[in-house]
Amino acid sequence: MTFIFDAHADIWSDVVVRRSRGEREVFRNRHLEKFKKGGVSGGIFVMWIDPPFDQNPKQRLAEIIKAAQAELEEASGLLHLVRSASDFDAAAALGKMPVVWGVEGLSGIGSDLGGLEALYDLGIRHMSLTWNEANPLATGVKQAPDRGLTALGFEAVRQIEALGILLDVSHLNEKSFWEVMSATSKPLIASHSNARALCDAARNLTDEQIRAIASTGGIIGINSYRDFIDLDPAKQTIERFVDHIDYIVSLVGVQHVGLGYDFCDYIEENLIQGSMLDASRSTAPDTLGLETAEKASEVLKHLRERGYKESDIENIAGANFVRLLKDRLEE
């Protein structure tokens, strides 16, 4: 079976909510079966400050870390935390799922860049500077277009790269994006963003941004969230999702494309009305044919129908992201 690596899963957000209600072994009980049915064999599991906890992000980050650590211990027979390049092979040898621990937005460290090394020491190997918010480091897509990286943000980019953490530019506004590009010397990813040429959403990437990421040796993970696939609800389908793969492959090559599904079925169960998240989400049905992780492997069928070679499908499905992570983690 082709190895599918999902470069963006909000699993820890679900874990912290459910564990706060008294649930345990959340991944095993709530996600494992979906992953198995969809053929998802690894991924980047991110911590994200869920509204309304964005008013005290430091406290919320600590809560999510505690929940994630407990969950990793309970799921030690299923999940293998990736800290170094060799952990991918170790996970395979043990029959476990390789999980890269990520942070979606660094509001939780505030202005304390010492938090970057502390997060690294915990095992975090992926970071984005911001979610949709403006924070002491950078500016998200929902904020002022004339605000980009701060001086502290430029230093954060330098430290993140020096630590050997993979930097993610999804959610940055355009000014922040280009300032990251000016400051970076390592491959970047946009873990869950699509082509703006096919869907004119602020969270999607222009052709120039796509080419810039590819020029670093980076990868774009295609996002299954409906409003980033097409603005017309009638076109929010798996076929249109694959159109985004086709488009970016034609623009920069298959080696720069992966999957960053961003499945939201379990997030929307826990939505808090009136939050920033709520305002950014449509009320339309989920993307037809890609509603949950159970459908992840359906994308591979569509790629075969469109004439992709098996080697290219393997690269898109997961090999591209795994290769890049191994390269960054062994430096």
Looking up residue 75, the CATH number of its domain turns out to be 3.20.20.140
Sign of the torsion angle spanned by Cα atoms 208, 209, 211, 216: positive
Which residues face 288 on adjacent strands?
A: 237
For the chain, what is the domain count? 1
263: buried, middle or exposed (CB in 10 Å: 19+, 13-18, 0-12)? Answer: buried
- Expressed as residue numbers, the domain containing 294 is 4-329
Instruction: Find out whether 165 and 173 touch, Cβ atoms under 8 Å.
Output: no
Interatomic CA distance for residues 200 and 151, integer angstroms:
30
Write the pLDDT tens digit of every residue in 242-256.
999 999 999 999 999
Helix (H), strand (E), coil (C) string for 213-280: HHHCCCEEEECCCHHHCCCCHHHCEHHHHHHHHHHHHHHHCHHHEEECCCCCHHHHCCCCCCCHHHHH
Model confidence at 278, in pLDDT bands (50, 70, 90)?
A: very low
- Tell me what pLDDT residue 1 has: 82
CB atoms near residue 268 (< 10 Å): 13
8-state DSSP, 53: G
Model confidence at 135, in pLDDT bands (50, 70, 90)?
A: very high
- Tell me what pLDDT residue 284 has: 53
pTM score: 0.95
Instruction: Find out whether 205 and 190 touch, Cβ atoms under 8 Å.
Output: yes
Model confidence at 273, in pLDDT bands (50, 70, 90)?
A: very low
* Confidence check: pLDDT of 148 > 90: yes
DSSP string computed for 141-184: TTS-TT----HHHHHHHHHHHHHTPEEE-TTB-HHHHHHHHHH-
Which residues face 97 on adjacent strands?
A: 79
Instruction: Find out whether 98 and 42 touch, Cβ atoms under 8 Å.
Output: yes
- Tell me what pLDDT residue 228 has: 97
Write the pLDDT tens digit of every residue in 211-223.
999 999 999 999 9
Interatomic CA distance for residues 326 and 73, integer angstroms:
24
Interatomic CA distance for residues 276 and 75, integer angstroms:
32
Interatomic CA distance for residues 125 and 329, integer angstroms:
8
More confident residue, 52 or 248: 248
* Confidence check: pLDDT of 175 > 50: yes
Instruction: Find out whether 128 and 165 touch, Cβ atoms under 8 Å.
Output: no
Taking CA atoms, 249 is separated from 36, 147, 241, 308, 314, in Å, by 27, 31, 13, 11, 14
Write the pLDDT tens digit of every residue in 79-126.
999 999 999 999 999 999 999 999 999 999 999 999 999 999 999 999
More confident residue, 55 or 74: 74
